[in-house]
Structures are given as structure tokens and as C-alpha cells.
């Protein structure tokens, strides 16, 4: 297993739409393990393959308190969303130290394949529903800050670019 580098907003690769996984094979299983290790190390509760510059429809999530209930979503698809909306404060491993409120469906149903290639369906609410919607946005090339006002998004973009420039200078 290996830690994978996480792309940071405003990297244009974060806007790449992920392609479906054609076959759940050893390469995909290794990707899942590496993504899980990266997510836990970050630490985060979800990670989409797009965030590690792999543009295939793969997501790992663990919203458990104990951090030992890994959920693998390969070729995930939301099949139903409630009309009821809820506002949650979200953060993202690709947008460090940034949290803001986003309105999403309160309840969802989704289907996906696990690391064995078996299809399953699951209903979700609360943090899991938010996380699934957030990570599937990544697979569709969307970052959560795009739900925010243009002003907020530009402030975040400027701050992160400045941090990246400072990190490059420090590394030279």
C-alpha cells in the first residue's frame, strides 16, 4: 500500500469527469487500498479517485467514530434523493483548512460495486448522505466550493494559491 498525493483546489484536474470502471480487478483493489490508506492518513472521511489524479469512478468512505468501517463505492450512482434538503458544514481534503455550509438532499439511496465487483444498494442520511453526495460530485468534476458564492470561492482560490507559492519557495 502507498500514500497517494492529493490534488489541491484550484488544480484543473479536479474538474475531470471520471470514467466508469470497466472491470473490478487487482489494479482497482490496489487503488482502493491505497486510497483508504491515504484517506485515513489525511485524516478524512471520504476520498474520490479524482482527488488522487485517477479519473475512474472509485470512492472510499468511512464516517464511523472508530474509523474501521470502510465503505467502497465503485461505479456509484445516486438512485434517489429526498426532496427534503439539509445544510451541513463541509470540508474537503482537496481544499485544506476550509469549511463552509452546503445544502444537499437529507436522504439518498445509491448503488455501487464493492471491491469484489458485487453490486449493492444502500440508503443513507446524515453524514453518510452528505459524504456520498460530496464524493460523487468529485467524480463529476465538481468541488464543494463551487456551491459557495463567487466571492468566497475566489478568496479560497487566492489563499490556496498563496500557500502553494509559499510551499514551493520553502522547498527550494
Q: Which three cell numbers stand for residue 33?
A: 487500498
4 inside domain: no
2 inside domain: no
Looking at the predicted structure, is the pLDDT value of residue 53 above 80?
Answer: yes
Q: Which three cell numbers stand for residue 39?
A: 484517506
Report how many domains make up the chain: 1
CATH number of residue 133's parent domain:
3.90.45.10
131 annotated among ligand-binding-site residues: no
Reported in sequence order, the residue ranges of the chain that DSSP labels E, i.e. its strands, are: 46-48, 58-61, 71-81, 85-92, 95-105, 107-113, 119-125
Averaged pLDDT for residues 17-28: 98
Contact 136, 78 (CB under 8 A): yes
56 among known catalytic residues: no
Please write the tens of the pLDDT for every residue from 100-117. 999 999 999 999 999 999
Q: Which of 65, 121, 135, 166 is catalytic?
A: 135
55 annotated among ligand-binding-site residues: no
100 inside domain: yes
Predicted structure pTM score: 0.95
Domain that holds residue 159: 10-169
Is the C-alpha dihedral spanning 110, 127, 159, 164 positive or negative? Answer: negative
3 inside domain: no
138 annotated among ligand-binding-site residues: yes
Amino acid at each position: 500500500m502507498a500514500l497517494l498525493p492529493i490534488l489541491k483546489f484550484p488544480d484543473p484536474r479536479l474538474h475531470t469527469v471520471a470514467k466508469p470502471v470497466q472491470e473490478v480487478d487487482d489494479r482497482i483493489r490496489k487503488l482502493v487500498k491505497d486510497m483508504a490508506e491515504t484517506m485515513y492518513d489525511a485524516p478524512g472521511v471520504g476520498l474520490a479517485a479524482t482527488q488522487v489524479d485517477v479519473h475512474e469512478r472509485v470512492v472510499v468512505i468511512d464516517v464511523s467514530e472508530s474509523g474501521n468501517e470502510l465503505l467502497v463505492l465503485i461505479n456509484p450512482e445516486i438512485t434517489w434523493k429526498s426532496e427534503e434538503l439539509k445544510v451541513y458544514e463541509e470540508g474537503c481534503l482537496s481544499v485544506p483548512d476550509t469549511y463552509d455550509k452546503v445544502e444537499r438532499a437529507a436522504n439518498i439511496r445509491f448503488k455501487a460495486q464493492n471491491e469484489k465487483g458485487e453490486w449493492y444498494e444502500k440508503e443513507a442520511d446524515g453524514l453518510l448522505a452528505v459524504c456520498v453526495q460530496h464524493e460523487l460530485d468529485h467524480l463529476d468534476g465538481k468541488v464543494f466550493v463551487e456551491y459557495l458564492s463567487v466571492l468566497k470561492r475566489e478568496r479560497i482560490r487566492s489563499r490556496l494559491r498563496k500557500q502553494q507559492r509559499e510551499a514551493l519557495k520553502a522547498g527550494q
